[in-house]
Amino acid sequence: MIDFLKEAVGQEENLKLRTLNLIRWIAIFGQLFAVLIAFFYFEISFNIFSALLLIFGSVLLNITVSIRYPVTKILSFNETFFYLVYDLLQLILLLYFTGGLTNPFSVLILAPLVISATYLDLRRTILITLIAILSFSILSIYYYPLESSSLGISRNNFSKFEIFLIWDSLIIASVFITAYCFRVAHESRKTRKALQQTQLSLSNEEKVSAIMSLTAAAVHELGTPLSTISIISKELTINKNLDQNIQNDLEVIQSQVKRCSEILERLRANKLSNNSNEFINQLDFKRLINEIVSYYQKVDIFFDVNCDSYFDDKNITVARSPELIQSLTNIIDNAVKFAKKKIIINLLDADQFIIIEVIDDGPGFPNEIFPLLGEPYLRNNNEAENPGLGLGLFISKNLLAKFSSEIIFIKESNLGGHVQIKLQKKAIGIND
């Protein structure tokens, strides 16, 4: 599962060859049907030989790539780009022989742009859009007009002003549709990757919880056999006829049994004896923070953890939750990335809430990204000096929402970055 998620997070959302071939086959049959009906049924005069030759070229391309490559092939950005450019130019040439922009099917020029905006990066999308605008700009001037005496269609049916209006509307539609589709697809990819990363993080926490469950079960089951060993070894030591070496071995067994029993007693101090799940589900709040901080012992940063009297007077335990642990870890980890020498963590009581303040002595939050804090894949403009905020804050923001809690970013701080985590007590298992 984890390997799959890792692969998914790092994989681009590229287009499959099968999808592009299917779209092209639909276009081929549509073009062929329109050309034949227009020429033979409506008796519209145009260069049908050239039109059929262009359609045949697309047929040949589709058959060639289907034979050469498997249909499941994932196209690279460059491959997708060149295929779309071909489809665009093929359509432009087809329109050139069939009335140019006066052909109602000229609106299909937008189709490659939509596909490009959905699957390609910004640079290639802009390039295809510019090629399209340049192509139908030329097409508005140079083309073979449609003629049909039976339908009353002549070269003079469309004025220059009408063609200008068609050209202008196509430009506006191209820019608007491309920008909109690209933005929607881009945000969708970022959100999906962020959620996949969240699932990956939670999977790791679930593994830890599973190990702890097994540990708790082992503690419960080991009590009886250890007692049995202790009783039997004591009974054997009563026998004075035993060899001295055997007596020494029995004393070693008793000492080791005593040691194991002491370990079990320390575990039972967490009320495991009354409820085997309680040890798994409950965690001392201050200990939780200290355990997260201990991950960074090798980092040259001083951690100053402060608690108000609320945490000193009471044994405050919270429900063990992978989401809570991961969200707090992400926020502290983000502070470590930006801190120079010091991080301050304050644990405060606020009526129905627990306030956790994480303050670092780094550069703080830049003005240009402050309104966007908590969004996925957020980056500073100067990544060389300031590392990206990445997914950490976005993941934490969404995980904490489960507990009716929130992250508050403080712009003005005496040190640097200042983050407040506002946890609802009932949601995290604290009952005063």
pLDDT digits (tens, 9 = 90+) for 240-271: 677 777 777 777 787 777 777 776 666 655 54
Spatial distance between the Cα atoms of 394 and 407, rounded to a whole number of angstroms: 10
Same domain, 290 and 407: yes
pLDDT for 330 beyond 70: yes
Residue 390 φ/ψ region, left for φ over 0, alpha for ψ in the -120 to 50 degree band, beta for the rest: left
**pLDDT at position 204:** 57
CATH, residue 323: 3.30.565.10
Most confident of 17-26, 48-57, 363-372, 423-432: 48-57
Dump pLDDT digits (tens) for 13-35.
567 888 888 889 999 999 999 99
Q: Last residue of a domain, which of 224, 245, 280?
A: 280
> pLDDT at residue 385 above 60?
no
Q: Are residues 38 and 180 in the same domain?
A: yes
- Whether the predicted pLDDT of 49 surpasses 50: yes
Residues 268, 296 within the same domain = no
Q: For the ranges 121-125, 243-247, 370-374, 421-425, which has the lowest average pLDDT?
A: 370-374
* Total number of domains in the chain: 3
- At 84, is the pLDDT very low, low, confident or very high (cuts 50, 70, 90)? very high
Beta bridge partners of 347: 307, 356
Q: How far apart are CA 316 and CA 333, in angstroms?
A: 24
Looking at residue 209, its amino acid is S
Mark whether 326 and 196 lie in a shared domain.
no
Assigned token pair, 31: 């073009």
What is the mean predicted confidence (pLDDT) over 310-316?
73
Domain boundary (148, 178, 200) is at 200
pLDDT of res. 272: 42
Q: Are 80 and 120 part of one and the same domain?
A: yes
Same domain membership, residue 83 and residue 72: yes
* Dist CA 222 CA 134 (whole Å): 79
398 φ/ψ angles, rounded to the nearest 5 degrees: -75, -35
Using the 3D structure, point to which of 235, 254, 280 is the last residue of a domain: 280
Q: Tokens for 357?
A: 């303040």
Phi, psi of 423 (to 5 degrees): -105, 130
Residue 362 and residue 216 share a domain: no
Rounded Cα distance between 59 and 97, Å, is 19
Q: Region 283-287: what's the mean pLDDT?
A: 79
- Taking only the tens place, the pLDDT of each residue in 138-150 is 998 888 888 776 6
Specify whether 25 is located in the same domain as 94: yes
Tell me which DSSP letter residue 348 carries.
Answer: E
150 and 259 fall within a common domain:
no
Q: Which of 310, 282, 326 is nearest to 429 (CA)?
A: 282
Least confident range from 10-14, 197-201, 219-223: namely 10-14
What is the chain's mean pLDDT, rounded? 78
Host domain of residue 61: 2-200
- What is the SS3 assignment for 20-89? HHHHHHHHHHHHHHHHHHHHHHCCCECCHHHHHHHHHHHHHHHHHHHHHCCCCCECCHHHHHHHHHHHHH
Tokens of 398: 């969404």
Tell me the CA distances in angstroms from 204 to 171, 290, 325, 333, one per residue in order: 50, 20, 11, 16
Instruction: List the end-to-end C-alpha distance of the chain, in Å, as a whole number.
Output: 39
Same-domain check for residues 68 and 121: yes
- Distance (Å, rounded) from C-alpha 287 to C-alpha 336? 19
Per-residue pLDDT band at 215 (split at 50, 70, 90): low
SS3 209: helix
The angle, 0 to 180 degrees and rounded to 10, between the axes of the packed helices 110-119 and 122-139 is 170
Which residues, listed in sequence order, are joined to residue 318 by a DSSP beta bridge?
A: 283
pLDDT: which is higher, 285 or 176: 176
| 144 lies in the same domain as 54 | yes
pTM value is 0.50
Contact call for residues 410 and 356 (beta carbons, < 8 A): no
Q: How many C-beta atoms lie closer than 10 Å to residue 406's C-beta?
A: 15
Same domain, 226 and 88: no
Check if the beta carbon of residue 9 is closer than 8 Å to that of residue 196: yes
